[in-house]
Amino acid sequence: MNFVTTSFVIFLLPVLCIGWGIRRHYRAYTLFLLAANILFYALAGIGNLPFLFFIALINWWCVRAMDRKGRRKRLALVSVAVAAHVLILAFFKYYEAAALEIVELVGPGMRWLINPHLASLVLPLGLSFYSFQGLSYTIDHYREDGLAPRSYAEVLCFLSFFPTVMSGPIMRENNFFPQLRTSFAGEEDFPEGVMLILSGLFKKVVMATYLQNHLVDAVYAAPDEYSSAAALMAVYAYSVQIYCDFSGYTNIAMGVAQLMGFHIPKNFNDPYRSLSLQEFWHRWHISLSTWLRDYLYIPLGGSRKGNRYVNLMITMIIGGIWHGSSLGFLVWGTLHGMGLVVVHAWHRLTAKWQVNSRLLRGLGNLMSWIVTIHVVAILWVYFRAETLADAHAVLGRVLAWEQDGAGFPLAVLIATLWGVALSFFGMRLYRMAVRGMSVLPWPVQGLLAGALVALIMNFGPDGILPFIYTRF
């Protein structure tokens, strides 16, 4: 179910009203929230439910089985959980592509691998996100022997939490369960939650959808029909589109959760103001980057054991292929890994350098920002393009710098600049809006929120496109 639909509003209002009424009764509220989660996920595609139940079952069983067991048996059980999740994700994300590659390399004798029934299966919605969330639950219990196992209903409620089940943020047990038992929506949660939802709607409906419909899709479909300036503008525009789309989803998820009394982790922190790729990954998709750090990079050795640069490369390559089987994702993750290696090496080399001039520091920061934002924008081309050939066609059109072909609307440039500006002033605008909303009486807050939602939706197109990250 798309957040930007009337059906979601119809679903959400009774969930909030009933939830507020029974919030202080832990068992009743847990069962009610679980029922709401399952209904939400079923409405998005009832055929996806068995996979959600199965992932919850794996993690619930492994944690129950490892309770009070020795270290070796606990390691065996967590290994079973990791292997099961990897196999499930690998099957849905890579089976078809791998089968086609094998047939092409070996010959028609392997055509039996292309089973039409298996090939027809699509990636269950949110599988990548709730699988990682489930793994964090199991691995945390393996690492901390004193954690009490949860009931199956609690584990399923944790994995299926409807604001985050489709596209995150990826939550941890120690963030969710204490709030499930003790948190209640307070007076400050309403204006903050509403403004988060409004900011998310604006980013998705107005910004991301406009850029996608008025330049990005067209250029990536046929780059040779556009001038080099338009192709370059599309590269910048997609950088803003994916930020507004994904951070818009996150804002809505955070806002809905806050209206319910939950404060979920921040997933974006003004990523386009970063001065290095290292800083960018501290600010972009924070729940995934910290998950990869805590459950992959550090177990590999991090910066203390082995080769830190090899560990970085492995982490970023896996982060790339986590998105799918396209070679573009592999290239995107690999190049980000190489960039991080360069940044880490540079920081170690220049750690003792001191620049006392404020002017020189300012110029250095400006150059670092320009380089970082352009590297990120160029690498997004590999993320967005359907194939490597398409990515190279877009980049080739930019490098050719020819004026022949279609241009781009001035509004696209304005929207792109505004999207970058949100990385510098968005949080300040949000806080100002929350303060303004907070001083109003409750009925006025509700009417104003409804009017602003209607206004934002009026600026959007007739059909709202799905969020980009729901396909991962």
**What pLDDT, in 10s, does the model give residues 452-467?**
888 888 776 666 678 8
Q: Give CA–CA dist 265/263, Å, rounded.
A: 7
Rounded mean pLDDT, 69-80? 88
**How confident is the prediction for the chain on average, in pLDDT?**
89
Confidence of residue 285 (pLDDT cuts 50, 70, 90): very high
| pLDDT tens column, 195-219 | 999 999 999 988 999 999 999 999 9
Contact criterion met (CB below 8 Å) for 267 and 167:
no
Q: Which of 42, 24, 3 is nearest to 164 (CA)?
A: 3
User: Within the chain, how many helices (H) and strands (E) appear?
Assistant: 21, 0
The pLDDT value given to residue 441? 86
Distances (CA, A) of 228 to 208, 210, 223, 289: 22, 21, 9, 34
The pLDDT value given to residue 411? 93
| pLDDT tens column, 88-102 | 998 888 877 766 666
* Segments in 212-357 forming alpha helices (H): 217-221, 228-259, 277-283, 286-292, 298-300, 308-321, 327-349
Which residue in 85, 141, 285, 323 is the catalytic one? Answer: 323
Confidence of residue 397 (pLDDT cuts 50, 70, 90): very high
**Selected residue with higher pLDDT from 147 and 372:** 372
Return the domain boundaries, the chain.
6-182, 189-268+354-471
Element (H, E) at 221: helix 217-221
Rounded mean pLDDT, 3-15? 90
45 pLDDT more than 90: no
Confidence of residue 172 (pLDDT cuts 50, 70, 90): very high
The pLDDT value given to residue 314? 95
46 pLDDT more than 60: yes
Q: Give CA–CA dist 424/418, Å, rounded.
A: 10
For 406, the 3-state DSSP assignment is strand
The pLDDT value given to residue 42? 93
The pLDDT value given to residue 186? 73
2 pLDDT more than 90: no
285 is catalytic: no
The pLDDT value given to residue 424? 85
For 354, the 3-state DSSP assignment is coil
Q: 226 pairs with which residues across the strands?
A: 406
Whether this prediction's pTM lies above 0.85 is answered by: yes
120 pLDDT more than 80: no
Confidence of residue 446 (pLDDT cuts 50, 70, 90): confident
Contact criterion met (CB below 8 Å) for 242 and 272:
no
Q: Give CA–CA dist 40/157, Å, rounded.
A: 12
Residue 443: how many CA atoms within 13 Å on its side-chain side? 0
Q: Give CA–CA dist 334/371, Å, rounded.
A: 18
Give the list of residues 6+ apart from residue 27 with CB closer than 8 angstroms, or none: none
182 pLDDT more than 90: no
116 pLDDT more than 60: no
- Provide the b/e sequence for 7-18 (b: ≥16 CB within 10 Å): ebeebbeebbee
- Provide the b/e sequence for 104-121 (b: ≥16 CB within 10 Å): eeeeeeeeebeeeeeeee
The pLDDT value given to residue 355? 74
Using the structure block, give the residue that is written with the tokens 């082995």: 306
332 pLDDT more than 60: yes
The pLDDT value given to residue 460? 67
Residue 32: how many CA atoms within 13 Å on its side-chain side? 18
For 226, the 3-state DSSP assignment is strand
Q: 406 pairs with which residues across the strands?
A: 226
Q: Which of 230, 296, 243 is nearest to 272 (CA)?
A: 243
Q: What are phi and psi of 272, to 5 degrees?
A: -85, 15
Q: What is the distance of C-alpha 283 from the center of its chain? A: 12
Q: Which of 201, 270, 286 is nearest to 422 (CA)?
A: 270
Q: Which tokens sit at 152? A: 């199956």
463: left (phi over 0), alpha (psi -120 to 50) or beta: beta
The pLDDT value given to residue 122? 74
232 pLDDT more than 60: yes
187 pLDDT more than 60: yes
28 pLDDT more than 90: yes
Per the omega criterion (within 30 degrees of 0), is the bond before 169 cis? yes
The pLDDT value given to residue 381? 98
191, with CB counted inside 10 A (0-12, 13-18, 19+), is buried
361 pLDDT more than 90: no
| pLDDT tens column, 424-443 | 888 888 888 888 888 888 88
Percent of the chain at pLDDT exceeding 90: 63
Q: Which tokens sit at 346? A: 């540079």
Using the structure block, give the residue that is written with the tokens 């010959």: 107
Rounded mean pLDDT, 30-54? 93
**Selected residue with higher pLDDT from 445 and 165:** 165
Q: Which tokens sit at 116? A: 């039409």
Q: Give CA–CA dist 240/19, Å, rounded.
A: 36
